[in-house]
Structure 1
Amino acid sequence: MEIAQVLHMNKGDDETSYAKNSTVQSKIISVGKPVMEEAILGILCTHIPESVGIADLGCSSGPNALRVILEILDIINTKCQDLGCQSPEFRVSLNDLPWNDFNSIFRLLPTLYHKIKEEKGGRFGPCFISAMPGSFYGRLFPSRSLHFVHSSSSLHWLSQAPPSLNWNHRMPMNKGKIYISKTSPSSVLEAYSQQFQKDFSLFLKSRSEELVPGGCMVLSFMGRRSTDPTTDESCYQWELLARALMSMVSEGLVKEEKVDSFDAPYYAPCAEELKLEVEKEGSFNIGRLEAFEIDWDGGSDDKQAALQSRGRKVAKTIRAVVESMLEFHFGGDIMDELFKRYGELVDDYCLRTQPSTSIWSFPCLERTTKWVSLGD
């Protein structure tokens, strides 16, 4: 399975689209806004460049895609107003994998430009927005071209599922599961941990080339508080999805070997793992590393959403994110039934507990002043 081709949020604006089912991601952005402002103001405290490079990595599509950009521009321009200086020009890059629904973002650009030119009183500097399709596990931008990098709800996705998990199709290592679970052997846990280490280190090295010295990143993504990767907050959404699939296996609707051969390209790291990789790579200083919890359904206040069961809301949220991968592997004809069963399992789980997921946030991951290249 080529992740770059099959990992994308559901396109369009219908009932299963990411645009209609991204409340959780919106909540994460809202929680992160104050620390994002703190990080950006830290960059500007000594010098405001004439041209500012900004990148949003894993921008996806829908209403969240341009919201962050407008907030970043607002923060910088408000600072310029306070200082009585001219606003810089903005070079904004929106990044995601090539199969992302960039067309929907482009259709929203006129609205964004209207807000910049009209609603904001014309105080914004020139703004140039472009798309940069490609994996952020590698170089995307010219050297020293970025001042600020933002990424939300993206870095828990790996570049690939650990290849070692399916080297022997006759004896699957994680039988009946699609991610880490309490019954997974230690070799599965180790394989996922190693893949994360490899990917996150490459992410840091790539950004260290692209950021100016003193530039910074604000990253928010799924994680776990415990060092144990089998805790419910880390893996239980995937556990319930595996159970839904196995219930279909028992009825002959899905082949068991299909379940055994699917491994989610996902990993929710703990704080110790994050700190270790940042220290090992050496190009960044951690300003702060914070954790906060968010309900599985995002705690939506929407009246129409309130009429749905929690399980159905969670199922729609998860479907909008992972359906492309599951459809590629299992076929599209089972998706409605699969997520119906998944929603029922989530409802049952919610009756027994109040499920939430931990979100890791690097409010400020600052590029060291020493220039470090990949060859050093």
Structure 2
Amino acid sequence: MEVMQVLHMNTGEGETSYAKNSIVQSKIISVATSIIHEAVEECLEKNFSDSMGIADLGCSSGPNTLMVISDIIDTIYATINQKGILLPEFRVSLNDLPGNDFNNVFISLPEFYNQLKTEKNIGPEGCFISGVPGSFYGRLFPKKSLHFVHSSSSLHWLSQVPRPLDSNIMPLNKGKIYISKSSPRSVFDAYLSQFKRDFSLFLKSRSAEMVVGGHMVLSFMGRVSADPSSEESCMQWELLAQALMSMALEGLIEEEKIDSFNAPYYAPSAQEVKSVVQEESSFTINCLEAIEIEWDGGAPGNNHFEKYNNKIENYNLSRGQQVAKTIRAVVESMLEVHFGREPMDELFKRYAEMVGDYFSRTTAKYIDLVISLTKKG
């Protein structure tokens, strides 16, 4: 699978679009806000410049795209005002893979510029925003051009399916699409090795692009358990595999198609992340936190539903439908290339029911890892 070509969030603003189904990602950005603020303030202490390079890697599209950039500029504005010095100009780079809906991003820029002008008197000559398509597993920017780098809900995506799994020989992970309790050890090892290669390359690339003392805040799906097959990191994929297998049993899709699909995704443990950072050695870790996020992002619509409907099974189904929408907005592009367009509606209908049933039995939460880093001298 050519991940660069098929991985992108659902485009546009329709019912299955990422723009309308990114509440979990918004929640993740919100809970990391204090860490971002602290990192920005420290960056200004060490690296104040009259022209600051800021990059958001894996920016996607929709309402979350400019949320972090706005927050970073707000923090810089407040800090600079306290010191009574002139604002720097902002060089803002929004990066994602080429299939990203950059048109949606660019359409929102005039309103963003107007807001900057109205609230902070920052005109177009004070903030230059550009789109940078390409994989962040490699160089994207000139040397020493960035002061602050942010990435949210992106680094759990690998540059490719681990090679041992992406072959036409006997499938290693039969009936599954990601790590599972039934997966052989070779599957665990393949995913971990790919993550280590990718994350190390990410750090090496950013090290070349950032100034000494520059700061970076990254948040991505992970786990606190040492077990890579723990429910906290795998269950959303396990349920999706079960939905696919139920369709295969009815002849709606080919079982061989399931055996040959493996998600280019890995949810690392905090220790695995720390180990790669230390081995690559370009950055100092300021903090590394694990934060719990509800599968549906604690969507307010769910509380409203519960208030007016006392049937708990309907409430769980509603939450299941919400989760299915958020997952569909993220992974449908890959699934559609592999399985075709026709099965998608039925697949996510079944997935919603399975997630609803899972909610009836347990509390479902993701683990989001947030790490703040400083570029070494």
Deviation at 1:122, TM superposition (A): 4.3
Which sections of structure 1, spanning at least 5 residues, go unmatched?
370-376
**Does the aligned pair in 1 maintain the 2:302–2:319 contact within 8 Å?**
no
Residues 247-300 of structure 1: CA deviation (Å, up to 9, x unaligned)? 000000000110000000000000111111001101000000001100000001
Matching of residue 368 in structure 1 with residue 376 in structure 2? yes
Partner of residue 34, structure 1: 34
Structure 1 runs of 4+ aligned residues shifted over 6 Å read: none
* 1:45 shift after superposition: 1.7
In structure 1, the partner of 2:368 is 359
Q: Does 2:341 match 1:342?
A: no
Runs (5+) with no aligned partner, structure 2: 307-316
What is the 5 A alignment of 1:69-148?
69-122=69-122, 126-148=126-148
Partner amino acid, structure 2, of 1:269: P
Q: Would you say 1:317 and 2:316 are equivalent positions?
A: no
* AA in 1 matched with 2:176: K
What letter is aligned with 1:368? K
Percent identity between matched residues is 62
State whether residues 178 and 262 of structure 1, in contact with CA within 8 Å, keep that contact through their aligned partners in structure 2: yes
Question: How far off its partner does 1:92 sit?
Answer: 0.3
Residues 1:268 and 2:276 are matched in the alignment: no
Q: What is the CA–CA distance in structure 1 between the aligned matches of 2:122 and 2:247, rounded to whole Å?
A: 57
2:310 equivalent in structure 1: none
How many residues are paired up?
367
Q: TM-score, normalised by structure 2?
A: 0.95
1:79-105 deviation per Cα after TM superposition (whole angstroms, max 9, x unaligned): 110000000000000000000000000
Q: Which moved more, 1:135-144 or 1:157-166?
A: 157-166
SS in 2 for 1:172: coil
Cα deviation digits, residues 114-167 of structure 1 (max 9, x gap): 010013344897000000000000000000000000000000000011011143
Equivalent residue number for residue 188 of structure 2: 189
> Aligned partners of 1:234, 1:265: CA distance in 2, in Å?
14
Structure 2: distance between partners of 1:12 and 1:124: 26
CA contact 1:77–1:123 (8 Å) conserved in 2: no
Q: Of 339, 357, 375, which aligns to 1:330?
A: 339
Kindly indicate whether the alpha-carbon contact (under 8 Å) linking 2:47 and 2:214 is maintained by their aligned counterparts in 1.
Answer: no
Does structure 1 conserve the Cα–Cα contact (< 8 Å) formed by 2:177 and 2:259? yes
Q: CA deviation at 1:44?
A: 1.1
Secondary structure of the structure 2 residue equivalent to 1:157: coil
Q: Which amino acid aligns with 2:61?
A: S
Tell which deviates more after alignment, 132-141 or 113-122.
Answer: 113-122
- 1:15-50 Cα deviation digits (max 9, x unpaired): 100000000000000001111000010011245201
Q: Retained in 2: the 8 A contact 1:284–1:366?
A: yes
CA RMSD of aligned residues (A): 1.4
SS in 1 for 2:214: strand
1:223–1:358 CA contact under 8 A, matched in 2: yes
| Displacement of 1:216 | 1.1
